[in-house]
Amino acid sequence: MRIATFNVNSITARLPRLLAWLESSGTDVVCVQETKCSEAQFPYEQLRELGYEAAVNATGRWNGVALISKVGLEDVVRGLPGGPEYEGVEEPRAISATCGGVRLWSVYVPNGREVEHDHYGYKLDWFRALTAAVAEDAAGPRPFAVLGDYNVAPTDEDVYDPAVFAGLTHVTPAERAALEALRGAGLSDVVPRPLKYDRPYTYWDYRQLAFPKNRGMRIDLVYGNEPFAKAVTDAYVDREERKGKGASDHAPVVVDLALDA
């Protein structure tokens, strides 16, 4: 089974590229973030024509997550159980389902904006709720993973220049401690470093030629439990999909699994 996570930065803007990528990559399940559309606007029909069904948690022009699968969608849960609200709203940042016997979450962790901003505290609260919500599945016997845009670079090696990010969100000790707590619930980062290049970043800003200069961050992650990690046969960042006109500012992260029949 081939599973991917992909922050598309608007599924309507990226739809032709996404459909072409699904066909060329042979992906069975993709966890999508930043759909930036309502559920009514989601391209169910175009995906169905390629053999995919979708489960969506989206409310409008911001945020939004989805699971797109060729191998089934069962026991769908929309939202983060016990998750915090921001300014009185439960944002659409999580969705989970069982796909081909694997339990998967697609998550879009809050950005945090600035360390002194209320959104930063919301981000840390959201992480705590996520850790509590996944603990039972993480400890279970079936393959389980949380995939998505975590908006945290796990280590200094996951940003192109740590000095540039000093004092900013995405690299603070509290955010990295939140990742450590999530791993402590029984998950591990299943994408090894280095891959086929020294620094497998997953996000590059559109500005200042960040992608050609490889000034990126690794913030799109795949955290799996032991049965999931043991089934991984390959993992890679699809940098090619970040190239060219109309690309998202994120690249897909792809994981191949060898599962028992």
Q: Is the dihedral of CA 147, 226, 144, 1 positive or negative?
A: positive
Element (H, E) at 187: none
The active-site residue out of 108, 120, 150, 203 is 108
- Burial state string for 158-194 with b = 16 or more CB within 10 A and e = fewer than 16: bbbeeeebeeebbbbeebbebbeebeebbbebbbeee
For 201, the token pair is 């970043």
Residues of each annotated binding site: 7, 34, 149, 151, 249-250
- Active-site residue 108, yes or no? yes
Query: Residue 141: CB partners within 8 Å, gap ≥ 6?
Result: 227
- Active-site residue 170, yes or no? no
* Distances from the Cα of 217 to the Cα of 7, 18, 117, 245, angstroms: 13, 22, 22, 21
Residues of each annotated binding site for Mg(2+): 7, 34, 149, 151, 249-250
The one-letter amino acid code at 55 reads: A
- Active-site residue 149, yes or no? yes
Place of tokens 């998550």: 107
Query: Residue 20: CB partners within 8 Å, gap ≥ 6?
Result: none
The active-site residue out of 52, 122, 137, 149 is 149
How far, in Å, CA of 12 to CA of 46, rounded? 11
The bridge status of strand 94-99 relative to strand 102-108 is antiparallel
Q: Hey, which residues are catalytic here?
A: 108, 149, 250
